[in-house]
Structure 1
């Protein structure tokens, strides 16, 4: 591509990324990557325990111009550092669902990684049972199906145990965990998220009305392919499983392959 063509393409893309309408609570809970004022669909991304919206920044404009990406901004971190952390799945799913309501004017798909997969599942159930809204699709990554969960009470242990588990799973820059000042800032959110995970026990396999697409790394130390296949028990509308090389954070090394898969499901659903 020539320099002039590249500049023209960049200008065209910028023109499409117009400001979206303000939705006060949603703008607090979601980082929005608005491609156009009237998107045809939305993708809501729910991060993992200890994660933040910035982890998925590169996903923001990775989809077609008809797709607006929202990434959940959990309280207690980054630009919500002073907001009280949430310590239960019920409250977290309730608050995400409530904040999502103004964005349901177009079909919404959900993608959750690790803890975020359980949040996405609970949001899907709430949208259907409380508001009669069926998500277009539910994408779950690196997380056991709800009826196969085996919670651990790590949140009751000391800081070093929590840090050791975060290191084991990967996905967090070790330099952040090694710096005492930064670790002190990160630990409250990490402990809150591990409380959410540790108190969310096995649940009945309540089905969702949308297709479920599961994704996992073949060397995940905490979730097996059988655990991911069990999501089919809550997916009478359709299920498939994508396995990629890697561990719990396979999505770092295989970002393009995962985004390509999610993108194909988004456009196929539309």
Structure 2
């Protein structure tokens, strides 16, 4: 059975650490194959340091408590659904978006929809571990067989080896992972107005899936300011630097007058 998040009235968002007196929202978008629980550690540390924030983690359809819902294997369609679900949550308080890997692109597309369709400008867009939306690579991992898909996950070093070796579990989660890979690998940036919010880019120094040039090109996707912060590590650098990243988020949010 799908269970509504009682904090938001939506299956699309999870609030792990309620902050009754919050003054702003931070919505976090998972990576390909990821779920809302990815952001439990960040939410815990962030709400302890900055209890004025209401941290919401997006739960994409097709996994965990939404596993019986149809997968969405198109970034634009996924962003449109999250945008629709987010509108009732907005209450006039400031809003910021954080996305890692595929989640960075989904968050970016939601930012565009919020500003240009709903007249809501996010205070900050945090884009983590992903090249700029207009920078394309020829990627077809979603067309590989299950073994090839698991090998790619192993290369990224973001999934526990015991999980990758659990054949029953992998059979359960691979459809969602493949759908997400299809979504991000077939994504194409569409021309149109760019967000006006600042974009703060985070990256791993040894992440083979991004280059400095690709990261710097995020500056073309905002009419506001752009910054880049690089951490030691690979694609999932944020797992090893949660405390530092929480500090960076708070710094940017305070500078934007959000918290």
Normalising by the residue count of structure 1, what TM-score does the alignment of the two structures yield? Answer: 0.88
Q: 1:48 and 1:269 mapped to 2: Cα distance?
A: 25
Q: What residue number does 1:86 align with?
A: 72
Bigger helix fraction:
1
Q: Which 5+ residue runs of structure 2 have no aligned equivalent?
A: none
Q: 1:161 and 1:154 mapped to 2: Cα distance?
A: 8
Distance 1:65 1:22, change over 3 A: closer
Q: 1:202 and 1:155 mapped to 2: Cα distance?
A: 19
Q: Which 5+ residue runs of structure 1 have no aligned equivalent?
A: 1-19
Contact 2:116–2:193 under 8 Å retained in 1 = no
Give the one of 18, 22, 25 matched to 1:42: 25
* Pair 1:255-2:242 in alignment: yes
Give the one of 38, 44, 48 matched to 1:61: 44
Q: What residue number does 1:225 align with?
A: 212
Give the one of 60, 65, 75 matched to 1:74: 60
* Pair 1:234-2:225 in alignment: no
Give the 5 Å matches for 1:178-217.
Answer: 178-204=165-191, 206-217=193-204
Question: Shift of the alpha carbon at 1:202?
Answer: 4.5
Contact 1:61–1:69 under 8 Å retained in 2 = no
- Kindly tell me the number of residue pairs found equivalent between the two proteins: 249
Question: Shift of the alpha carbon at 1:240?
Answer: 0.7
- What value does the CA root-mean-square deviation take over the aligned residues? 1.6
Contact 1:147–1:205 under 8 Å retained in 2 = no
Q: 1:144 and 1:189 mapped to 2: Cα distance?
A: 22
Question: Shift of the alpha carbon at 1:21?
Answer: 7.0
Q: 1:21 and 1:266 mapped to 2: Cα distance?
A: 26
Contact 1:74–1:80 under 8 Å retained in 2 = yes
Q: 1:75 and 1:251 mapped to 2: Cα distance?
A: 24
Contact 2:205–2:230 under 8 Å retained in 1 = yes
Larger radius of gyration: 1
Give the one of 150, 159, 167 matched to 1:172: 159
Contact 1:146–1:203 under 8 Å retained in 2 = no
SS at match of 1:116: helix
* Pair 1:115-2:102 in alignment: yes
> Relative contact order (alpha carbons < 8 A, sep ≥ 6): 1 or 2 greater?
2
Contact 2:25–2:96 under 8 Å retained in 1 = yes
Q: What residue number does 1:160 align with?
A: 147
Give the one of 82, 99, 103 matched to 2:85: 99
Q: 2:108 and 2:129 mapped to 1: Cα distance?
A: 13
Q: 2:132 and 2:98 mapped to 1: Cα distance?
A: 14
Contact 1:151–1:199 under 8 Å retained in 2 = no
Distance 1:98 1:205, change over 3 A: closer
SS at match of 1:102: coil
Question: Shift of the alpha carbon at 1:165?
Answer: 1.1
